[in-house]
Structure 1
Amino acid sequence: MAPPLILYDARGQSPSAAPWAPNIWRVRFLLNYKRLHYRTFWLELQDVERELTRIGAPPSAIRSDGSPVYTLPVLVDPARNPAKPKILSSPNKIADYLESAYPARPIFPEGSRAMQAMFVHYIQEVFVKPLLPIMVPMSHHRLPDQTQAYFRGGQGPAGTLVGPQREQAWLAVQEQFNFLAKIMDKNNIDGDGVVSMGHEVTYADFAIVSILIWIEQMAAHDGWARVRTWNGGRWNRLWDRCREYMDVR
């Protein structure tokens, strides 16, 4: 058997805690959907730059002063050349690579790459923004103690929203879900009314469900209990369509 692909992921509060980071879940979905042989390499967030530098991973961005930024996910594919494996950063680049290198079970139906790229950009840059004041502090509190201490040294995230502020934040989140539901409802005419491309799950759906997993992991009772009922239960149906690709290895 060929050596497994390696997905670098962020460790939660305990070794048994389920992964939660949306950008990394997008890649995990692809690996599971394509039925690829892979394993997870767990990292503490404070160790990301050191470890990714050690393995020669490309930076995910460059700061204005020219210094590199290293973030997860990173995927290592030793299958073609174990002595010099392919190492990729950023979920979109990883998705393009997996689709080209492992074309079986495609996640980009023919002619859909540009539209899906625009859709995922919207999810990343617009749709998720109202969630950040709620989810980022909650995610910080679910990190291992030493990782929390590391980020507190750099001031860390703002405090968790409570009371009316929290309810107002969830209303802003619901507005984004309502808008997205109206767009996706157009598939009721000639699709199944659940997935973004009409009939089969694609990268766009994985981008949405990755956000749903983040909410479910960090705010199961306060967040996911709301979201799963919005828009006539659409998001719960989408979750169920993608459930078989939620394995963690």
Structure 2
Amino acid sequence: MITLYDMGPSSFPESMGGSPHVRKVIFTLNYKSLPFKITTLHFDSIEPTAKSLNAPPTTTKPDGSPKYTVPFIHDTRTGKSISDSFLIAEYLDKTYPDTPAVVPKGTGTLQLVFTDVVQRKMMCLMPVLMPKYEEWCSEELIESRRKVYGEVLKPPKISEEEERAVWESGRKTFGELAAAYVHSGNSVFVMGGDRPVFADFVVASMVVAIKVMFGEESEEWRDVVGWNEGRIGRLVEKVLGYPKVEV
């Protein structure tokens, strides 16, 4: 049994995850049809839980000490714990070779570069996403964040004009991703064809938060589905079509 660790509790549906990085793993597991369960942790429970499972740190704190973050998984079949969404994807490819690979041989570096580009582009939407994100987090989750990181400044309010400018920036920024799909033809997947790779789950994990937080019928989401000549909306629809295997 695979257990995936996420932040929580929150108002985010379990099938979506409370973190875009966790979402990448959820989408990967769904695509591979691997059964799993999700366990949510407060911010102050992440490090001790990871250490108890021998899940490695993912980065370092400003003082140089190890920093533990979600997602990480524990697989009772192998007894192994893996941290970082990309490393988890590679582990699942290797450990469950009968499932479709999401990091085909020779594509790892390219996918990591693409992932970095997408995550940087997504930053332009933070002024409209962060206030919404705060609304979806439970008070106990926010309080646990205070214990670990201290008081976090609330995102400043922006005017309607500034909001429109942010969304327009997002549209233009994601339009620039079209160059990455130059060889994929009409496929919604970055490598073409009918099979996604990890990089596709990265894109979907970022933008699906807009659908969840603003609502499927919202003006914001109706606009986003048309980004990149409609590819973004079709990609999300395709990725969300891979069902979770019930435990």
State the TM-score, normalized to the length of structure 2.
0.85
CA deviation after TM superposition for structure 1 residue 193, in Å: 3.1
Q: Which residue of 2 aligns with 1:224?
A: 221
Q: Does 1:136 align with 2:130?
A: yes
Q: Is it true that 1:235 corresponds to 2:232 in the alignment?
A: yes
CA distance in 2 between counterparts of 1:89 and 1:235 reads 28
Q: Give the equivalent residue in structure 2 for 1:61.
A: 59
CA RMSD of aligned residues (A): 2.3
Once the 2 structures are TM-superposed, how far is the Cα of residue 150 of structure 1 from its aligned partner? 4.3
Per-residue CA deviation, residues 94-127 of structure 1 (Å, 9 max, x unaligned), is: 1121111112211123432222222112222x22
The Cα shift of 1:24 comes to 0.5
CA distance in 2, matches of 1:246, 1:208: 18
Question: Which amino acid counterpart does residue 203 of structure 2 have in structure 1?
Answer: I
Q: Which residue of 1 aligns with 2:117?
A: 122
SS of 2:111's equivalent in the other structure is helix
Residue of structure 2 in register with 1:21 after alignment: 19
- Rounded Cα–Cα distance in structure 1 between residues aligned with 2:208 and 2:46: 22
Amino acid of the residue matched to residue 108 of structure 1?
Answer: V
2:95 corresponds to 1:98: no
1:29 Cα offset (Å): 1.2
**Aligned counterpart, 1:32:** 30
Moved more, 152-161 or 237-246: 152-161
Q: 1:115-154 deviations in whole A, cap 9, x for unaligned?
A: 2222112222x22111222222321221002223444651
Please list, as runs of the form range in 1=range in 2, the aligned pairs for 1:161-240 lying within 5 A after superposition: 161-188=158-185, 192-199=186-193, 200-220=195-215, 221-240=218-237
1:88 to 2:82 alignment: yes
Amino acid of the structure 2 residue aligned with 1:109 = P
Query: How many Å separate the matches in 2 of 1:64 and 1:223?
Result: 36
What's the counterpart of residue 242 of structure 2? 245
Could you tell me which runs of 5 or more consecutive residues in structure 2 were left unpaired when the two chains were aligned: none
d(CA) in 2 for partners of 1:165, 1:248: 42
Distance (Å, rounded) in 1 between the aligned partners of 2:233 and 2:192: 17
SS of alignment partner, residue 155 of structure 1: coil
Task: Specify which of 106, 109, 121 is matched with residue 111 of structure 1.
Answer: 106
More moved, 48-57 vs 230-239: 48-57
Cα distance in structure 2, aligned partners of 1:159 and 1:213: 23
Deviation at 1:180, TM superposition (A): 0.8
Q: Which residue identity lines up with residue 209 of structure 2 in the other structure?
A: W
**Structure 1 unaligned blocks of 5 or more:** none
Percent of residue pairs bearing the same amino acid type: 28
Mean Cα deviation higher: 162-171 or 203-212: 162-171
| Alpha-carbon distance in 2 for matches of 1:128, 1:77 | 31
Distance 1:224 1:20 in 2: 19
Counterpart amino acid of residue 163 in structure 1: E
TM-score (norm 1): 0.85
Return the offset for 1:16: 5.8
User: What residue identity is the alignment partner of 2:111?
Assistant: Q
